[in-house]
Amino acid sequence: MATRVVIERARRSRYTTIMRSTVLVATIGLGLLACGGKKPTSTTPGDGDGSGSGSGSVITAQMLIGWGAQGYNPESQSPKTSVFLAVTDHHGATQSYPLGEIPAPCQPTAGNGSDIITVLSCLQGGAGAEFRAVYRGGAEIIVLRRWVSPTDDPGDIELSFQEVSRVTVPTGSKVKPAV
C-alpha cells in the first residue's frame, strides 16, 4: 500500500510540473501576442526645425505673427489706429487679438531675431507706442507695449515695457514673423 501512495504522489508531481510549465509557456506566449512585439519603423526622427528637410516626418507647428493696424485717418479730428496681433497657425487659420487704439500711424519692423519676433512702432511727432511680440520657446507669445515720448531716457527704454497680452500657441511651436 505504501508503494502505491509513493507512485500516486510521483504521478501527481510530474503532472503538476507539466501543467505548470504549460501554463507558463502559454502565459508568456499570450503576453508577447498582446503587446505585439517590437515593430520595425521605417522613419527616423528629423532635425526638429519643422522644415521637412530631415530624413523623417517630424511635424512642428509653425505660427506666423504679424501686426494689424486699421483706421488711421490724419484728417480726422482725433486720428487713431486700431492695433491687433494676427496669429496664423500651421493650418492657415488666422486669429486676431486686439491691443487697443493708438493716436499715431503704425509701421511694423523686424525684431532682434532671438526672442523678439516682430515690433510695431506707432509714432506721431516722436510720441506714441511701441509693441513687441516675444516668444521664448514655451507655449505663449507675450505682447509688450511701452509708451513713447520724445523725453524718454534711452537707458530706461527696455525697463518701460509692460505686458498687455498673452497668446497661447502649441508647445514647441516654431514662431516666425509674417512678411
| pLDDT tens readout for residues 69-82 | 888 777 777 788 99
pLDDT for the residue numbered 136: 78
pLDDT for the residue numbered 172: 81
What CA–CA distance (Å, rounded) separates 175 from 140?
A: 10
| pLDDT tens readout for residues 8-48 | 554 555 544 555 555 444 545 444 444 444 444 444 444 44
pLDDT for the residue numbered 13: 54
| pLDDT tens readout for residues 81-112 | 999 999 998 888 999 999 999 989 999 988 87
Residue corresponding to grid cell 527704454: 157
DSSP E strands: which ranges in the chain? 62-70, 81-88, 94-102, 106-110, 116-124, 127-135, 140-148, 162-168, 174-177
What CA–CA distance (Å, rounded) separates 128 from 149?
A: 7
Among candidates 121, 116, 108, which has minimal Cα distance to 135?
116
Among candidates 117, 112, 59, which has minimal Cα distance to 86?
117
Amino acid at 158: E
pLDDT for the residue numbered 122: 93
What CA–CA distance (Å, rounded) separates 18 from 158?
A: 80
Task: Indicate the domain borders of the chain.
Answer: 62-177
pLDDT, mean of residues 50-62: 55
In order, the DSSP letters of 23-55 are HHHHHHHHHHHHH--PPP-S-----SSSSS-SS
Ordered strands of the 127-135 beta sheet:
106-110, 116-124, 127-135, 140-148, 162-168
Total-model pTM: 0.63
